[in-house]
Every structure is written in structure tokens, then in C-alpha cells.
Structure 1
Amino acid sequence: MTRTRKASMIAALAVLPLALTACIGGGGSGGGGSTAEGGGDADDQTLTIWHYENDDSAMGQAWAKAIEIFEDEHPDVTVEVEKQTFEQIQKNAKIVLTGDDVPDVMEYNKGNATAGQLASQGLLAPLTDAAEENGWADKLAGSLATTATYDENGLMGSGEWYGVPNYGEFVGVYYNQKMFDDLGLEVPTTLDELEAVMKAFKAEGITPLAEAGAEYPMGQLWYELVLANADREFVDSYQLFDGDVDFHGPEMTAATEQLDAWIKEGYVASDSAGLTAEDMGVAFMKGDYPMMVSGSWWFGRVVAEMQDEWGQFNFPGNTLHAGSSGNLWVVPTNADSPSLATEFIDTTLRPEVQEVLAQTGGLPVAGDASTIEDPKTKELTENFQAILDEDGLAFYPDWPVPGYYDVLVSELQSLINQSKSPDEVLDGLESAYVDGKADLLGE
């Protein structure tokens, strides 16, 4: 039986001790739980899942299918699904997972600053044995597995498996076809054409871009502009520390100055500094804005809620794009039911679950794209494939170092508010990056 409820991490935080004095060792078990590698379940009757996907999204529908399969095969196990938000897990996971009241398996953001940080602090159980037993490496070959493994410093791309992605994702541009048609505008294929489209909308008193400065969207727009001026060498230096990054070099300077110019031109709403991703998405789907630069994870909701005709295109002119494998399923070190958790993770890679992702625009990692019939889903998948064909996934701007998400949000809010110049924003981003990199590498 599935029990679904919305859960606030505030409740979980309230039961933690006021002083957290335990020292967390790499990969060790804490509290009364068991690790996923070796050891059995302290509780083999309950599986607690945390995730933050909307029920209408491709991932939400796929996870529901995985739960249905799991329950059919485990009739004596109660599955408890607790809905969090991305922000709750992003901000509070480290504190919550130090305690004993933790989920058995949860959806978590990938990258050095998130899954890598928790893995290096011993808060996530290694899954390497389960990966080998279940053949996960064969299903997640190449770059798709990059975000699944982390070394002892929490750097992705090598070491133990600490998570499993089962879909892909990328950032593109959603657009309102009716609003484009009303002004006789075509889909832009270059950055210059995109600026011309935005200028045309602004001339009609329409703010071109739905945006959100209080959460991730503005950072992704900024990063797309960085990537418009960057190459793979820059990405590897920035994301994997394979070289030095010049924050006042041509890539970041051009991007930040261009975004600053767009803000001054009114292409981004002046109140967007305080808006959330949800605010942005709802406003776009209502028809308040003609374009929204954001991820493929919005696809299911746009299909369900958008009334006007709409479409999607890749960020014009770019060969590199924000994107990666999807979020990870991870198992906390203190989980009570780690073996049930790894069974559930494996279930999400089943063909029938991957088929749900394929048919709903979820970009499956182990599905059959040739079965897709819906034209919008096919368009999304073809856009993603075009990026893969150019080896164009460049991860996300907040990944490199712990805490960088909040820094990026704060600095770009300052740009929206025009309280900092582009140079000052870059100074703030550089300082946090350099310090975080030194901490990670022990320099």
C-alpha cells in the first residue's frame, strides 16, 4: 500500500539534537541504520521515498509506475512517499541526513556541491556493489554515469557509485507559438535573432522572458550565455577543475555584460529577483510571457497546463548547453531499508518505467525513443539528441563547489536589482569558487 503525503523538512529538523557533535566518517554507518553495501534492513516492512516531482511531470508519472511495480512484487511492504520541494532538500539535506529519521531512498541533485558533498561526508551509502550486481554501468554508459560516481573528495566522475540517474535533462527555450504568430515572428536560430525577437516583443510592451531570480532559472540563463562564448576546455576547467578559470575572461565577462544589458532593456521583469521557479513557470503557462528558458523537467506540466499553442527550441547558436543525466536516486547512510531502496532504484530502470518516461517527455536513459509518436515529445527528444550528438552537455553552473548555488542566486539577484555591476558580480562568483575549490582539493 502506498501512503503519499507532503512533508516539510521543518518537522524533520525539529527532532534533531540542538548540537550535532558526531563526526561523520566516509561511508560509515551512523545512528541505528544500515548501509546499502553489506548489512541487512533494520526495517524490511517499510520503504520511505522522498522526491520532489510533480504528479503530472514525466518523472512523477514514471516514479508512480515504479512504485506500482515494486508494490506488486513486495506485497508485504508499505511504501511511504513523502513529497518535498527542490529547495527543501537542497538547503536542508545535510542536517536532516545526519539524524536517524531519514528516508530509505531519495531524489537528490547531482554534482560536486550536492551529492558529492554528502558522499564525502559519509551521509550517502556507496552503491558500487549494487551497481555491479544489477548492471547499472551497462545501462548508463559514457557521460550518463559521470554524475553517479564520486571520489573521496566528493568530485564527480570517478570513485564509488553513490547515486543512479534514470533520465536525462537539458535546458532549452519554451515559447508561446500564439504570441510569436501574433507578431509574425519566427523561431530564432542565432543569438542575434533571439535578441531581435526580444526587442520586437518589448516594443509591443511585452516582457520577453519569464524568469526567476530567487531560485535556479536565472543562473541557467546566465550559464547559457557563458556557454555561447565557451568551449569544452572551459567547461572542463570550470566543472572538473581541469585547468584554471578566468572569471574576468571573455566567456563570463561577455555573458554577464549581455545579461546586464538585457535587464536594462527590460527583457527580464524588474520584479523577477524575488520570483521562484514555480512563479516563472505558472506565468509562462498562463500566457504572460512569450519565452521561458528552463529545463526539460517542465515538459509534462507545460503539456498539461498550457492553453496556447507552444513549442521548444534549443538555446540559439549554442553548441554547449546546461544539462546532464537527471537527478540521482541516493540511499542515506542511516536508512533503515537499504536493500529495499536499491531494489526500488533498479525498478526505475525497468523497460516499462523507462517507457513511461519516453512517452511523456522524460528523456529515458534506457528506453526506446523510436516508439515515441506524440509530436511534441518527439521534438523534445530530438532536441536533446541534437545536443548529445555534439557532446554538448555542460552540466550546471552551481555544481563545482559546495554552497555555490546560493552564491549564484544572490549575485544574479544583485544584477537584476542593478545593485552590483557585472564586474562586481563576477568578483563575488570568483571569490566563492576559488575558496570552495581550495576546500575541496585541500589546498
Structure 2
Amino acid sequence: MRHQRTMTVVAAAMAGALALAGCTGQTGGGGGDTDDSTLTIWHYENDDSAMGQAWAEAIKIFEEENPDVTVELEKQTFEQIQKNAKIVLTGDDVPDVMEFNKGNATAGQLAAQGLLTPLTDAATERGWDEKLTGSLATTATYDEQGLMGSGEWYGVPNYGEFVGVYYNKDMFDELGLEQPTTLDELEDVLAAFKKEGITPLAEAGAEYPLGQLWYELVLAYGDRTLVDDYQLFANDVDFHNDAMTQATEKLDEWIEKGYIASDSAALTAEDMGVSFIDGTYPMMVSGSWWFGRLAAETEADWGQFNFPGNDLHTGSSGNLWVIPTNADSPSLAEEFIDITLRLEVQNILASEGGLPVAGDASVIEDERTRELTENFQAILDADGLAFYPDWPVAGYYDVIVSELQSLVNRSKTPDEVLDGLQSSYDEGKADLLDG
């Protein structure tokens, strides 16, 4: 949940909403180029964002190394590409390379329909499969049904995102509290704030944040096998397993103890973020996409740390570069993608808080930005990306929101919530696998 999707929409909304047009795109598994004089790129990042600045540098490098090629950059919005991709990519007037959302229902669906070029050969030849490994590469591969995690490479990620804990250092200092490093220590901090009459966690039950907190707790008690079963359908999942039961009961306990405000079921992610920014709450469990806004708007001293005690964390690679099957210049598209993974481009992402997948955190001068990047790198080093709780099946985002709202409203028990999550998950999984 964006989560990765929400933040992408926010970034996209700032990008220019130009009419869908385009030219070209394909590679590794397709036919030869029919036009090597033009490279058409679609993406939906704002010019001032970390990604926008990095892609601008990649285009500059490409043009310097290919002076006879004209680069045509066309800004789309996330919604335009998401809604129109299947229609546009069935035609002949397509981009050579475009940014697209990862996951079963997006890149996986296009791959299964034959609209994206397989990139497995290119990944091997250019070393992408060595730079992007483990959980970072999971969103790059899709099987014949469009399910991520195995099969051919159909996309290449080059930045990341993850969920952690933002905290108000001033409020911690007032109570003499240290940054927690274990779940038990986190609970001690929660209790200490509550004892002083301060609700410790900014939350939002009407949108993605509460589901991400629940999933962080699942990951606190679970392991990679559970993630593979839940996200990749490696095996059936019993939602009354130890990890999911303990996580749901723990979240229920935190609600009961007042660590989460009783009115949070109706609050949005925006409400949550603003309340943390203005100092109402000392902690907020949410994603790296909040970083820039917090840096711009938060007056108090603040920091960020990974969810304490977890080896696995909510998050994933960022969106993918994909090459449409009907692209005119697949080889040029491959070359551009390769440039976006070069150190000089990745280091722009790093310096601007964009969470590079192949950068050098030591080049970052800003302390908070370096801290965020190092925290993400620690997750990558441990192969700790566990994706998002709503990813497995279509429509699951709304189910998670509704079920966890019931916990906050005290209208369902943890067992009843798990029953509701299980039912919708099983139905959605059957639809995917039978479809």
C-alpha cells in the first residue's frame, strides 16, 4: 500500500499532465531496431524530484554518448499511464522505454498479455541481475500468469522505498527517551509517552498507514517463508498462524492501551502526516516518500529509524523501466536503462533522498538524507524487503483498510479481522490463479 502507490500518485500529480503520445520501445527478447535515430522516454516524475533530476542526468549522458540520436522526453501522469497503458501499447505509436508501476496487477498484467519485451538476456549481458538481487529484484520478474517473483525479467528498478519510524527527537529528549532498537524497547517508549498523557503514534485508519503498521508487526513475528507464501503464493497461508495472530493481537493491544488515537479510524494519511509535522504525536510509522515533506515543513528536530528488531521491512524497489514489445528502438532503450544504474546517476538519487539501489551513501552531505539512505541500504544488505500488505490480490487494499478500521472501532476481534482478511485473500488468489 503506499505507500508506494500513494506516493507515486503524489509525485505524478506534480508532473505535467501532457496528452498521451509517443513513439518507440523494446529489447532483449524482441526483434531488431527499426529506428535507431530517436529514443522516446515516458516518465511521470517531477523535474525537481530526486528521480526527475537523476533521469535528467541519465538523458544528458545518453545524448553525449549518442550524438546522432534525438531524445524525446514526454511527461505523463501516473494515472494516464496506469489507465491507458494496455490500449496504447497495443498500437504502433509507443515509447521506447517508460516508467511503470510494479506488481501483479500492473507490470505483471502487461507482461502476461505480451505487451512488454522480456529483458532477461539484457539483464544478464549488462549485469543488472548482479546489481539487483534478492528481494530487490522480485518486482522485476514475472511468470506466464503475470505473477511477480519468477520467470523472465520484464522491468528494471533503479531506486527504492520502504517503511520505517519517524520520530520527534525534541519530544524524546523531553522524557529522556532513547531510540528503541527492539520491539520491547519500542513498547517501553510507547508506554512512557502514554503515561505522560501523550498518544505516541500518529496513525490513519482510513488509508494505507494502519495496514503498514500491522504488516510491520506481522514481519516482527514472521519470516521470509511467510512473506513468500503470502506475497508470491509459494504455499497456502493460514491467517491464524502464529505471526499474523500475534501481530493482530498486538495491534489490538496497542489500540486498547491508547497508543493509537481512538478517532484514527477516520483519519487519512494526510491527517497523520500533518499531526506528526505539527508535533501532536512523537512517532509516525510510514514510508520514505514522506521524507522530503518532513524536511521542508517540520520545525522540531526529527529523525528516522528502521522498525526496531525487524529483519524484514515493508517496502520494495521503486517503479520499473519497461520496454514495450512494439518499441522501435529497443537497443537504445536498454542503453538508457543501463545508464540510470550508473554510479553518477545513482549518486544524484542518493544526494536528493531518492534511495538508490546502486549508489554510494558517503557522497551525501545532509545528515538526515544520509541516515535514510543508510537505513535503506541496511535493509538491502539483509535482503529485507517484504513488499506491501495489499499487493497479493486485486482489491485487497480496501479490505485491509476496512478490517483494521474495525479493530480501531472495537467492532471486531482480532480473530474476526483475520477471518475477513483470509476470506478476501483466498478469493482473490483463486481468481488470479484460475484466470
Normalization by structure 1: what TM-score?
A: 0.80
- Which digits, 9 at most, give the CA deviation of each residue in 1:105-143, with x for residues without a partner? 443443334432332233433333443453322332444
Tell me the equivalent position of 2:73: 79
**In structure 1, the residue corresponding to 2:277 is in which secondary structure?**
helix
Matched, 1:289 2:299: no
Tell me the equivalent position of 2:225: 233
Q: Is the 8 A contact 1:209 1:289 kept in 2?
A: yes
Q: Is the 8 A contact 2:15 2:46 kept in 1?
A: no
Separation of aligned partners in 1, 2:25 and 2:113: 16
Tell me the equivalent position of 2:116: 124
User: Which region of structure 1 is more displaced relative to structure 2, 158-167 or 237-246?
Assistant: 237-246
- Which digits, 9 at most, give the CA deviation of each residue in 1:207-252, with x for residues without a partner? 3222333433222111111111112222222223222311012211
Q: Look up the equivalent residue of 2:422 and give its one-letter code.
A: E
Tell me the equivalent position of 2:7: none
- Which digits, 9 at most, give the CA deviation of each residue in 1:91-112, with x for residues without a partner? x467666775876544344333
Superposition deviation, residue 260 in structure 1: 2.4
Matched, 1:38 2:38: no
Tell me the equivalent position of 1:184: 176
Aligned mate of 1:50, from 43, 47, 60 = 43
Q: Look up the equivalent residue of 2:43 and give its one-letter code.
A: W
**In structure 2, the residue corresponding to 1:293 is in which secondary structure?**
strand
Q: Look up the equivalent residue of 2:431 and give its one-letter code.
A: D
Change (3 A) 1:411 1:95: farther
Separation of aligned partners in 2, 1:338 and 1:281: 42
Tell me the equivalent position of 1:267: 259
Separation of aligned partners in 2, 1:165 and 1:34: 17
Tell me the equivalent position of 2:216: 224
Tell me the equivalent position of 1:408: 400
Aligned mate of 1:215, from 202, 207, 214 = 207
Q: Is the 8 A contact 1:71 1:79 kept in 2?
A: no
Tell me the equivalent position of 2:291: 299
5+ unaligned residues in a row in structure 2: which ranges? 1-13
Q: Is the 8 A contact 1:128 1:161 kept in 2?
A: yes
Matched, 1:320 2:301: no
Separation of aligned partners in 2, 1:260 and 1:289: 19
Superposition deviation, residue 163 in structure 1: 0.9
Q: Is the 8 A contact 2:25 2:95 kept in 1?
A: no
Separation of aligned partners in 1, 2:249 and 2:191: 17
Q: Is the 8 A contact 1:113 1:403 kept in 2?
A: no
Tell me the equivalent position of 1:24: none
Superposition deviation, residue 323 in structure 1: 2.6
Aligned mate of 2:16, from 6, 29, 36 = 6
- Which digits, 9 at most, give the CA deviation of each residue in 1:70-106, with x for residues without a partner? 5665673331223437xx877x467666775876544
CA RMSD, 1 decimal:
3.5
- Which digits, 9 at most, give the CA deviation of each residue in 1:414-438, with x for residues without a partner? 3334443322321221122212323
Q: Is the 8 A contact 1:113 1:404 kept in 2?
A: no
**In structure 1, the residue corresponding to 2:337 is in which secondary structure?**
helix
Tell me the equivalent position of 1:350: 342
Correspondence 1:12-23 to 2 at 5 A = none
Q: Is the 8 A contact 1:62 1:357 kept in 2?
A: yes
**In structure 2, the residue corresponding to 1:396 is in which secondary structure?**
coil
Q: Look up the equivalent residue of 1:158 and give its one-letter code.
A: S
Change (3 A) 1:95 1:158: closer
Change (3 A) 1:356 1:35: closer
Change (3 A) 1:142 1:229: closer
Change (3 A) 1:207 1:50: farther
Separation of aligned partners in 2, 1:293 and 1:432: 25
User: Which region of structure 1 is more displaced relative to structure 2, 352-361 or 366-375?
Assistant: 366-375
**In structure 2, the residue corresponding to 1:329 is in which secondary structure?**
strand
Aligned mate of 2:193, from 201, 204, 214 = 201
Tell me the equivalent position of 1:431: 423
Q: Look up the equivalent residue of 1:78 and give its one-letter code.
A: E
Change (3 A) 1:35 1:319: closer
Q: Is the 8 A contact 1:96 1:102 kept in 2?
A: no
Q: Is the 8 A contact 1:41 1:339 kept in 2?
A: no
Superposition deviation, residue 258 in structure 1: 1.9
Separation of aligned partners in 1, 2:25 and 2:180: 53
Tell me the equivalent position of 1:26: none
